[in-house]
């Protein structure tokens, strides 16, 4: 074969830039996200003088984590998981039970308090383990059956947390969950303090910004790891299975173990997010992990642009804003608007008319459903679809060079 100088081939590969080029858009998206993430605490404090925005951002963070994890399963490997919230629940309960007084009132009769920094890995492992247990017998099934199995699993898990109430408190939820501790922390204007100071030791419940910083770190780590996987042997194997399972197997890919890895890794992200969630809200109840959670994460992934990590992050943020800020806030906006334009009388409830605010609130479902349908119809590929690779080579020079090489081979 061609023994054309390896140095030249290498430079060629760099110029074609398989990796670099697709990162153009990603670099921009990530750059903007990092910038916003850095500025956010400071700005939100100065504007609102409160922590409402920060806690919104914190909560948006775990949705982002969930979406990144589900994207591995759905976007990369093409496996439809409709019970993703189950792994989230497993992660959250792992942390909640092992870092709260809960087990003192259980048959174990002994409260356990293990550090957050250890349990976050334990939660991750637990979720991955259950992912593997569920996946092992079911992943040889065709795609749609898997969706149905996961749907069933997602329905069973929260119900089990209800039913084993001796251990989990059932409907009463697990409360008083420990907060993460750190040896030291820096507070400053971003936490409402006019001056910098070092707090030591530091408990996360004293500063909401701490959770924000933590989730930003977790998201950043998740993005790096998932992007690494995407560009690896395993990532390509996932996509190959997504595109054509038979051909993938014929190329030597063990489809069962490869799918199991996608399932386990996806679940582990969910477990990781679950531990963080349990610490942040300090109260974990089975109601937090119903089918609607799985669906919401799926919507974030599909809406953002399946398979594309940066798109999925955007999708999660947009959907979070929509579901948890914009739509619940609509009644206030509408009544305020009505008062301002002199239609304040509409805000009162009279007879059958429940008042404009109430009426708007009742419209929530319709608005949300309508948005889902509309966005999918307008952009079936998602907001930021996966541009797996550049479709055309940008550099004519490279093309010519390749053509020349081909000629010489012919």
Partner 1 sequence: MSEQPRDNILELTGLTKRFGGLVAVDNVSLHIKRGEVFALIGPNGAGKTTLFNNVTGLFRPTSGNVLFDGRDITGFKPHQVARLGIARTFQNIRLFDYMSCLDNVRVGRHVRMKAKVWDSLFKLPRERREEERVTDEAMEVLRFVGIAKHANQYARNLAYGQQRRLEIARALATEPKLLLLDEPAAGFTPQEKVELMALVKKILNRGITVFLIEHDMKVVMGISERIVVLDHGEKIAEGSPEEVRNDTKVIEAYLGKSA
Partner 2 sequence: MSLPDYGFYILCGTAVILLAAQAVTHPTQFFQVFIFGLTQGAIYALVALGYTMVYGIIELINFAHGDVFTLGAYIGTTLLGFFAITEGTFTAINLIALIIVFPVVMLIMGGINITIERVAYRPLRNAPRLAPLITAIGMSFFLEGVMFLWRGPATVHFPDILPTQSWYVAGVFFGVRDIFVVVVGAVLVSLLAVFINQTKLGKAMRATAQDRDAAQLMGIDINRTIAATFFIGALLAGAGGIIWGLYYNTIYYQLGFRSGLIAFTAAVFGGIGNIPGAAIGGLVIGLTAAFSDSYIGSKWTQVVIFGILIGVLVFRPTGLLGMRVPEK
> Residue 140 or residue 197: which is nearer to partner 2 going by CB?
140
Contact stretch for partner 2 (CB under 8 A) within 112-120, 133-141, 185-193, 263-271: 133-141
Answer for which of 68, 214, 248, 302 binds partner 1 (CB under 8 A) is 248
Site string for partner 2, 66-105 (x = CB under 8 A): --------x-----x-------------------------
- Considering CB distances under 5 to 8 angstroms, the limit depending on partner class, which of partner 1, partner 2, none binds residue 30? none
Contact stretch for partner 2 (CB under 8 A) within 109-117, 233-241, 291-299, 342-350: 291-299
Neighbours of 353 (CB within 10 A): 11
Q: Which residue has the tokens 């679950």?
A: 274
Minimum separation from the CB atom of position 6 to partner 1 (A): 8
Cβ contact 386:305 at 8 Å: yes
Helix (H) or strand (E) holding 197: strand 197-199
Cβ contact 274:94 at 8 Å: yes
Answer for which of 109, 340, 350, 391 binds partner 1 (CB under 8 A) is 391
> Residue 114 or residue 129: which is nearer to partner 2 going by CB?
129
Q: Enumerate residues 346-365 that contact partner 2 by CB under 8 A.
A: 359, 362-365
252 lies in the site for partner 2, by CB under 8 A: no
CA distance 69 to 297: 10
Four-CA torsion 402, 404, 408, 410, nearest 10 degrees: 70
Burial class (CB in 10 A: 0-12, 13-18, 19+), 362: exposed
388 lies in the site for partner 1, by CB under 8 A: yes
> Residue 184 or residue 250: which is nearer to partner 1 going by CB?
250
141 lies in the site for partner 1, by CB under 8 A: no
Answer for which of 30, 40, 167, 291 binds partner 2 (CB under 8 A) is 291
Residue 134's contacts (CB-CB under 8 Å, 6 or more residues apart) are 149, 150, 153, 263
> Residue 34 or residue 388: which is nearer to partner 1 going by CB?
388
CA distance 57 to 254: 40
Helix (H) or strand (E) holding 314: helix 309-320
- Rounded alpha-carbon distances, angstroms, from residue 313 to 84, 112, 253, 362: 17, 35, 29, 29
Contact stretch for partner 2 (CB under 8 A) within 8-16, 24-32, 199-207, 296-304: 296-304
Contact stretch for partner 1 (CB under 8 A) within 49-57, 155-163, 242-250, 337-345: 242-250
- Rounded alpha-carbon distances, angstroms, from residue 320 to 213, 273, 387: 18, 15, 24
> Residue 138 or residue 270: which is nearer to partner 2 going by CB?
138
Answer for which of 132, 220, 367, 383 binds partner 2 (CB under 8 A) is 367
40 lies in the site for partner 2, by CB under 8 A: no
Q: Among residues 256, 223, 221, 225, which one has the least CA distance to residue 238?
A: 256
Contact stretch for partner 1 (CB under 8 A) within 3-11, 184-192, 197-205, 211-219: 3-11
3 lies in the site for partner 1, by CB under 8 A: no
| Burial readout 309-325 (b: 16 or more C-beta within 10 A, e: otherwise) | bbbbbbbbbbbbebbee
Number of residues counted as binding partner 1 (CB under 8 A): 50
Contact stretch for partner 1 (CB under 8 A) within 12-20, 130-138, 308-316, 331-339: 12-20
Site string for partner 2, 147-176 (x = CB under 8 A): xxx-xxx-xx--xx-xx-------------
| Burial readout 249-266 (b: 16 or more C-beta within 10 A, e: otherwise) | eeeebebeebbbbbbbbb
Tell me the residue length of the chain.
410
Contact stretch for partner 2 (CB under 8 A) within 64-72, 121-129, 199-207, 370-378: 370-378
Cβ contact 375:303 at 8 Å: yes
Cβ contact 91:238 at 8 Å: no
For the chain, percent helix, then strand, then coil, each to nearest 5? 75, 5, 20
Residues in contact with partner 1 by CB under 8 A are 1-2, 6, 9-10, 12-13, 16, 18, 21, 225, 228-229, 231-237, 239-240, 243-244, 246-255, 261, 265, 386, 388-393, 399, 402-403, 405-406, 409-410
Residues in contact with partner 2 by CB under 8 A are 74, 80, 137-138, 141-142, 144-145, 147-149, 151-153, 155-156, 159-160, 162-163, 291, 295, 298-299, 302-303, 306, 359, 362-373, 376-377, 380-381
């Amino acid at each position: 074969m061609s023994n054309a100088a390896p140095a030249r081939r290498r430079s060629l590969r760099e110029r074609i830039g398989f990796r670099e080029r697709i990162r153009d858009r990603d670099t921009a998206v990530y750059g903007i996200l990092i910038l916003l993430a850095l500025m956010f605490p400071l700005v939100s404090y100065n504007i609102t003088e409160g922590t409402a925005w920060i806690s919104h951002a914190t909560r948006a963070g775990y949705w982002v984590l969930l979406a990144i994890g589900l994207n591995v399963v759905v976007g990369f490997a093409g496996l439809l998981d409709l019970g993703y919230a189950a792994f989230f629940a497993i992660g959250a309960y792992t942390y909640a039970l092992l870092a709260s007084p809960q087990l003192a009132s259980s048959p174990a009769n002994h409260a356990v308090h293990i550090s957050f920094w250890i349990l976050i890995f334990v939660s991750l492992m637990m979720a991955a383990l259950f992912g593997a247990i569920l996946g092992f017998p079911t992943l040889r099934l065709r795609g749609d059956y898997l969706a149905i199995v996961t749907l069933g699993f997602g329905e069973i898990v929260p119900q089990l947390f209800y039913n084993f109430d001796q251990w989990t408190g059932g409907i009463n939820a697990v409360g008083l969950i420990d907060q993460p501790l750190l040896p030291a922390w820096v507070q400053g204007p971003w936490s409402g303090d006019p001056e910098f100071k070092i707090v030591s030791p530091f408990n996360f419940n004293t500063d909401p910004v701490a959770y924000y910083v933590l989730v930003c770190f977790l998201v950043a780590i998740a993005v790096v790891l998932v992007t690494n996987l995407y560009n690896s042997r395993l990532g390509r194997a996932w996509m190959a299975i997504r595109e054509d399972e038979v051909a993938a197997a014929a190329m030597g890919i063990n489809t069962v173990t490869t799918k199991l890895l996608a399932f386990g890794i996806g679940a582990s992200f969910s477990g990781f997010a679950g531990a963080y969630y349990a610490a942040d809200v300090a109260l974990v109840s089975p109601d937090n992990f119903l089918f609607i959670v799985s669906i919401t994460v799926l919507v974030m992934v599909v809406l953002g642009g399946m398979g594309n990590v940066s798109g999925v992050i955007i999708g999660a943020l947009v959907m979070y804003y929509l579901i948890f800020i914009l739509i619940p806030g609509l009644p206030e906006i509408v009544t305020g608007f009505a008062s301002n334009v002199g239609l304040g009388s509409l805000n009162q409830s009279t007879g059958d008319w429940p008042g404009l605010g109430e009426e708007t609130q009742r419209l929530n479902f319709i608005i949300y459903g309508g948005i889902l349908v509309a966005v999918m119809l307008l952009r079936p590929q998602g907001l930021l679809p996966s541009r797996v690779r550049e479709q055309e080579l940008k550099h004519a020079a490279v093309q010519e060079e390749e053509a020349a090489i081909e000629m010489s081979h012919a």
